[in-house]
Amino acid sequence: MVVGASAACAADYGESMRIVLATGNPHKVDEMREIFASAGLAAMGVEVLGLKDLPNPHRFHEPDEHGTTFEQNAAIKAVSYAEQTGEWCLADDSGLEVDALGGRPGVISSHYCTDGVDMGMTREQRDEANNVRVLRELEGIPTEQRSARFVCVMSLTKTGAPMQTSRGTFEGRIGTRPRVPAGANGFGYDPLFLVAPAFARTSAEMSAGEKNAASHRANAARIMAAKIAALVKVRS
């Protein structure tokens, strides 16, 4: 349910609700449009845009994600882009949590190999180095203790409106060599991540459709879609 929503908050977007995703990636925009449409939001007048769909998108600046949790970083981005655009903005933060590593890599998942510092490496270089570090740090850890999950947190807000938050997970465990890395249909830690409950395939060995249906991002998006629907219904 929506926490702290009011009729006044919902009424200010009239017959429709525009949501700007804090991304310039058209694939993410298309994915969210599809998920929201399947949840009935398009029929309720919810329009999903990306930053590139707005006039002069180069004017927007990316905020410094200095949070220590996915929730904090998602909220930082949502608030910043809401202020910059004047629109409802939806932002997300995601990463990998490995229980045997105390939840690391966590919020520095994309730059784990350099302890969260951007060293100018390509995405492919970072992915490979990140995977090497995770496997090295898990050496000697028994299979049953290598549980892990991908996490995605989404935050939606508009300046002056309550923050809406959702969290989705994708459960599994980190495999061991030589079983992993394996699979070409993914990036990041996908080639290491054996998907629960069968642990028979890495997420990089799943089809795009299979992964998108079960992923942490899809789960967070479905929860957020329900919260947006509740926001829209506050008008009636």
CA distance 211 to 213: 5
CA distance 202 to 138: 17
Provide CB contacts within 8 A for 188, sequence distance 6+. Answer: 96, 109, 110, 127, 130
Going through the chain in order, the beta strands assigned E by DSSP cover 17-21, 46-50, 88-98, 147-157, 164-174, 193-195
93 is known as an active-site residue: yes
Q: Among 36, 13, 20, 26, which residue's Cα sits nearest to residue 78?
A: 20
Instruction: Tell me the angle at which helices 26-38 and 216-233 cross, rounded to the nearest 10 degrees.
Output: 60
Identify the active-site residue in 30, 53, 64, 93.
Answer: 93
Q: Residue 91: beta bridge partners?
A: 155
Contact 134, 173 (CB under 8 A): no
CA distance 134 to 125: 14
Indicate which residues carry an active-site annotation: 93
